[in-house]
Each structure stands twice: as C-alpha cells, then as structure tokens.
C-alpha cells in the first residue's frame, strides 16, 4: 500500500505540473470568509489568520500562525484538488477548491470556505519582529494581556473571561492572573537576556516564563500547551505607563 501511495503521489505531482500551465494557482491563498446555514462570517471578524500555499513542485501546506500542515495539490477541472499529507504519505481523499472569479472556494456538508490572493483586512496581532536590543528599561512598567491565540484563532482576553497583568520593576516582577480580575499573583525575578524578558522563580532561579518585546510595542508570551500546540498571549503597556 505504501508503494502504491508513493506511486500515486508521484503521478499527482507530474499531472499537476502539466495542468498548472493553463491556470497559475501557485502562491499563497488567504482564508477570507466562511458561510454555513446562510450565515457568513468574515476572517477579520473571527480574527483568523489562515492561509494555504501551493508550490510549483506540487507540494503545499496550510498555515495557521505557528502550525503548518503539509499537503500535495493537482490542478483539476476549474480548480484544484488538495490532498493532506499524513506521516509522509498523501491521503487518497482530497478537498476540491473551485475557482470562482479570483477566489478559490471549497464546499463540504453545507460549509463554504473562501480563499483569496489578498489577505483579509482585520485586527490580527502578529508575533512581529523581536526587539533583540531591548533592555530592562523597555520592560519596566505595567502590562495587561489583551489577546490570546491558539491554533491560529485569536480572541480577546475579555471575551474569554481571562485576565493577566504583569508588573515589572527592574529586577523584580509580579504576574497576576484570574478570570475577570487579578485573583492569583506570583512574584518573580526579572532578567533580560538577548532582549527577552525572563521571569524566574525567586527561590530557585528556574525559568517560568519568557516574553519578547516586538516591533509593535507589545509583549509576546509563547507557551507550549501540549504536543504540536502553541499558545501565544499578547500584552500591551497600560496607557498611563507609556
């Protein structure tokens, strides 16, 4: 079976190269909207930054922030077929995307997903560029978590009924968390290494959290929630601390 799947994959890649000459589907397509049972939701409204990239060699991948899922693709009649790759082998069942104007559209069991060459305009937070020259003075002050992100989906902390506040004062810091207010607080040592703020256990100096100042002036806290799942929390400085 593995040999058959490998041969099928090779055939799909060759077929893709031949058909792709007619319509150029290669490049990155961004998810812009979804419709289900007559209700349409825009990617910007859902704070979803999801895309799929079709390469010229027939390989592909979908991306939702920190995660990439591999696939292969072939040009089909009026669109493309995308086959997810699992453990190095392409699945035999793929997803059909039909070209409608300048958009690729997939429909399955009443759900309609639309992708465009242009990224949806929205209020996405991004990890951005790390400020590797940041110093303790850049971190001193009070920071409040505003947005959390898991699997490429972003939600405001208020909507999630979660609260996080970080106070940094030179070599010390406190981190408060709770549902709608500060309910539990821990004291930490605070050090800056290579521009990143490290919060250490006051007794053992064991690292608990790492935060990075980005080029948008936000703090980015990245945590491994479980295998292949990363959570990102964005914190912003309180206005009166600027």
Dihedral sign computed on CA atoms, order 134, 136, 137, 138: positive
Q: How far apart are CA 101 and CA 80, in angstroms?
A: 14
Please report where in the chains the tokens 């289900």 appear, as a residue.
36
Instruction: Report yes or no: 177 and 163 within 8 Å, Cβ to Cβ.
Output: yes
Which of 101, 95, 66, 68 minimizes the C-alpha distance to 82?
95
Percent of the chain surpassing pLDDT 90: 37
Q: How far apart are CA 163 and CA 187, in angstroms?
A: 17
Both 108 and 174 in one domain: the answer is no
Both 103 and 6 in one domain: the answer is yes
Q: Domain holding 188: CATH number?
A: 2.40.128.20
Q: Is residue 200 part of a domain?
A: yes
Per-residue pLDDT band at 20 (split at 50, 70, 90) = very low
Instruction: Return the pLDDT at 109.
Output: 86
Residue 158 reports pLDDT greater than 80: no
Q: Is residue 130 part of a domain?
A: no
Please give the average per-residue pLDDT across 137-162, as a whole number: 82
Both 43 and 101 in one domain: the answer is yes
Please give the average per-residue pLDDT across 140-165, as a whole number: 81
Instruction: Return the pLDDT at 17.
Output: 44
Residue 168 reports pLDDT greater than 90: yes
Give me the domain span that covers residue 146.
136-241
Instruction: Return the pLDDT at 6.
Output: 42
Q: What are 37-65's pLDDT values in tens digits?
A: 888 877 766 667 788 999 999 999 988 75
CA dist list (Å): 63 to 11, 17, 50: 25, 23, 6
Residue 116 reports pLDDT greater than 50: yes
Determine the number of helices (DSSP H) and then strands (DSSP E) in the chain.
Answer: 3, 19
Both 100 and 141 in one domain: the answer is no
Q: Domain holding 110: CATH number?
A: 2.40.128.270
Residue 14 reports pLDDT greater than 50: no
Instruction: Return the pLDDT at 65.
Output: 59
Q: What are 197-226's pLDDT values in tens digits?
A: 999 988 888 888 899 999 889 999 988 777
Instruction: Report yes or no: 163 and 172 within 8 Å, Cβ to Cβ.
Output: no
Which of 117, 152, 127 minimizes the C-alpha distance to 32?
117
Question: 31 vs 179, which has greater pLDDT?
Answer: 31
Per-residue pLDDT band at 242 (split at 50, 70, 90) = very low
Per-residue pLDDT band at 121 (split at 50, 70, 90) = low
Per the structure, the count of domains in the chain is: 2
Residue 239 DSSP class: G
Both 166 and 229 in one domain: the answer is yes
Please give the average per-residue pLDDT across 3-15, as a whole number: 40
Q: Is residue 158 part of a domain?
A: yes
Strands 67-76 and 59-64, by their bridges, are antiparallel
What SS3 state is found at 205?
coil
Q: Is residue 125 part of a domain?
A: no
Sequence-ordered list of residues with C-beta below 8 angstroms from that of 240, at least 6 positions apart, any chain: none
Structure-token pair, residue 77: 């009649």
Q: pTM score, two decimals? A: 0.53
Q: How far apart are CA 160 and CA 151, in angstroms?
A: 15
């Amino acid at each position: 079976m593995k040999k058959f799947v490998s041969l099928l994959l090779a055939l799909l890649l060759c077929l893709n190269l031949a058909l792709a000459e007619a319509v150029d589907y290669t490049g990155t397509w961004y998810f812009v909207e979804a419709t289900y049972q007559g209700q349409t939701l825009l990617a910007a409204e859902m704070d979803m930054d999801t895309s799929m990239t079709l390469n010229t060699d027939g390989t592909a991948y979908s991306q939702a922030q920190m995660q990439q899922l591999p696939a292969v693709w072939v040009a089909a009649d009026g669109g493309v077929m995308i086959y997810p790759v699992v453990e190095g082998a392409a699945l035999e069942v793929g997803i059909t995307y039909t070209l409608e104007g300048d958009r690729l559209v997939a429909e399955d069991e009443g759900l309609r997903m639309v992708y465009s060459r242009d990224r949806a305009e929205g209020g996405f937070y991004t990890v951005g560029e790390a400020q590797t020259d940041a110093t303790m003075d850049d971190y001193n002050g009070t920071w409040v978590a505003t947005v959390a992100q898991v699997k490429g989906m972003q939600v405001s902390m208020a909507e999630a009924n979660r609260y996080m506040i970080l106070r940094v004062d030179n070599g010390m810091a406190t981190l408060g968390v709770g549902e709608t207010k500060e309910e539990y607080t821990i004291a930490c040592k605070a050090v800056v290494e290579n521009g990143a703020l490290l919060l250490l256990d006051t007794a053992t100096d064991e690292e608990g959290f790492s935060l990075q100042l980005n080029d948008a002036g936000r703090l980015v806290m990245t945590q491994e929630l479980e295998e292949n799942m990363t959570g990102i929390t964005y914190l912003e400085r309180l206005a009166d601390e600027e």
